[in-house]
Copies of this chain bind each other. A is one copy, B any other.
């Protein structure tokens, strides 16, 4: 995919994102006109956790990884984002800090809105604030769900949940099942499920033997999505 996009395409991405939902076309165009299109290279850090939140962004080409570093230095992986998905939502509120680091995975481009510019739109277009509210409410409920998982589920269930989330976010249907279209290492999965790369490796091996998945280096193919779903609810945990 080229990093050159028409305004048409950019507007389409915006219209499909909750952040810009229910806004009329002229307003979308105005918002686009105050945005900056910034290109980025692979493996570049866009936002660093702890820095002042100065802008909202939306990827239009390429992918990025959202991570958090805990006080003791453990890195956790929040989620992956792709074209049409936004980040830095808290930037609407002046004086906040970025809760996570955003790191690009490919060469790509994004639209950027400075905090002050966007905030100026709210008095006349409160829908923007409502949209942001909607977005934050979604994030909140997803986080709540993950918090619950962590509190009550065993590693195998959490890993199954993490894979299922990846399926809906980055799953491509192929002949034998669903392929997760991301360069995922065991370490990445461990950071998502809150465990170690060793336990991930063991669990995936077990599932591979059971015919649920097929995994190789940085590659995961899920052959039986329903059975993986069953693992998340069942009391049976696919441990070794």
Contacts and interface: CB of A to CB of B under 8 A. Distances in A.
Given A93-B137, A123-B126, A143-B143, A70 B132 contact: no
Contact of A129 (B129, B146, B150): B129
Interface residues of A, number: 36
A153 to B, nearest CB: 8
Contacts of A96: 137
Question: Looking at chain A's contact residues, is the secondary structure mostly helix, strand, loop, or mixed?
Answer: helix
Interface stretch (A57-65, A71-79, A166-174): A71-79
27 contacts: A68-B144, A70-B148, A70-B152, A72-B153, A74-B151, A76-B152, A90-B137, A93-B130, A96-B137, A99-B144, A122-B126, A122-B129, A122-B130, A126-B129, A129-B129, A132-B133, A133-B136, A136-B136, A136-B137, A140-B140, A140-B143, A143-B143, A143-B147, A147-B147, A147-B150, A150-B151, A151-B194
A92 interface: yes
Nearest to A134: B93
A2 interface: no
Interface in A95-153: 96, 99, 122-123, 126, 129-130, 132-134, 136-137, 139-141, 143-144, 146-148, 150-153
A233 interface: yes
B140 A136 contact: yes
Contacts of A194: 150-151
A92 B133 contact: yes
A8 to B, nearest CB: 30
A171 B127 CA distance: 40
Contacts of A130: 92-93, 122, 129
